[in-house]
Amino acid sequence: MTLSIIPAPVSPLRQRLIDDMEMRHFSNETQRNYIRDIGRFATFLGRPPDMATAEDLRRFQVEQQESGVPVPTMNSIVSALRFFFTQTLDRPDLARKLVRVAHPRKLPVVLSRDEVARLLGATTCLKHQAALAVAYGAGLRVAEVSALRVRDVDSERMLLRVERGKGGQYRNAMLSSDLLALLRQWWKLGHEQGVMHRDGWLFPGQHYLKPLSTRQIYRVVVEAALAAD
């Protein structure tokens, strides 16, 4: 006897939030984060978040701070709640009660040309080397690298088409001749291996129908950095 699992129904309020995010072309990751953060507030509240008051928001933020929630996480929650109260509930009066916490930003460590070359050379396969080279050479975020398709490489204009980058915007990134040559090497090898297709992902994952995930790319960077010392 087989048991079928019926998914839990989505509440009308949650569906309205999802619809609002879809209309604004929020990425899947942003949608997951907003739903998680608003769910955290609802758990604190003990009732649906659309029943919150200004005092509830104040108590929630105080509790978050006292419990040691990191400042970037607190500000991410504020962004999610502001969207929820402003767009989904049409309650900008409540959104104005949310306070973003200032925190000093540290300058990122910028690798030298030699260090970048060592990092790329420490990767274990051509696909990983090409993915990291695209990230560094074209200035792409990890999610943008993951979402690239073969058709996004414009060798005539020497551009990479980046779909739905930060803020859901489309943009073009410059493509150097060295980077194009590396991508052509990867295309040739991947095509021979049967994982590269003209309408497929530029960096397929374990199955060619799915892209290399952001988590996998992070792991590639960490492993390469350790190997490169």
- Residue at which a domain ends, from 95, 125, 144: 95
| Residue 39: inside a domain | yes
* Intra-chain end-to-end CA distance of the chain, in Å: 55
Q: Answer yes or no: do 153 and 76 share one domain.
A: no
Which pTM was predicted? 0.59
Sign for the CA dihedral angle at 58, 59, 65, 69 comes to negative
Say if 25 falls within a structural domain: yes
Query: What range does the domain containing 147 cover?
Result: 113-227
Say whether pLDDT at 32 is over 80. yes
Residue 106 maps to a domain: no
Q: Confidence band (pLDDT; 50, 70, 90) for 53? A: very high
Is 102 contained in some domain?
no
Q: Does residue 54 share a domain with residue 83?
A: yes
Let me know whether 80 and 18 are in one domain.
Answer: yes
For residues 40 and 120, membership in a common domain is answered with no
Q: What is the pLDDT of residues 154-209, one digit of tens each?
A: 999 999 998 765 555 678 899 999 999 999 999 999 989 888 888 899 999 888 88
Residues 52 and 90 in one domain: yes
Query: What is the Cβ-side half-sphere exposure of residue 99, based on CA atoms within 13 angstroms?
Result: 13
**Domain presence at residue 104:** no
* Residue at token pair 């767009």: 87
Q: Are 61 and 26 within one domain?
A: yes
Pair (164, 89) in one structural domain: no
| Residue 23 sits in the same domain as residue 70 | yes
Q: Is residue 169 part of a domain?
A: yes
Q: Are residues 123 and 205 in the same domain?
A: yes
In angstroms, rounded to a whole number, what is the distance separating the alpha carbons of residues 90 and 92? 6
Average pLDDT of the chain? 88
Q: How many domains does the chain have?
A: 2
Q: Are residues 120 and 194 in the same domain?
A: yes
One domain for residues 82 and 117:
no
Q: Output the CA–CA distances (angstroms, integers) from residue 121 to 25, 71, 81, 112, 200, in the order listed.
A: 37, 36, 43, 14, 26
pLDDT-based confidence at residue 106 (cuts at 50, 70, 90): confident
CATH number of the domain encompassing residue 181? 1.10.443.10
The verdict on 205 and 122 lying in the same domain is yes
Helices within the chain (DSSP H only): 12-23, 28-45, 54-66, 71-83, 92-95, 113-121, 126-138, 142-146, 177-193, 214-227
Q: Domain with 76 in it: what CATH number?
A: 1.10.150.130
pLDDT at 168: 58
Measured distance CA(202)–CA(150) in Å, rounded: 5
Which residue in the block uniquely carries the two structure tokens 């980058």? 165
Burial 193-227 (b: 16+ CB within 10 A, else e): eebbeeebbbbbeeeeeebbebebbeebbeebeee
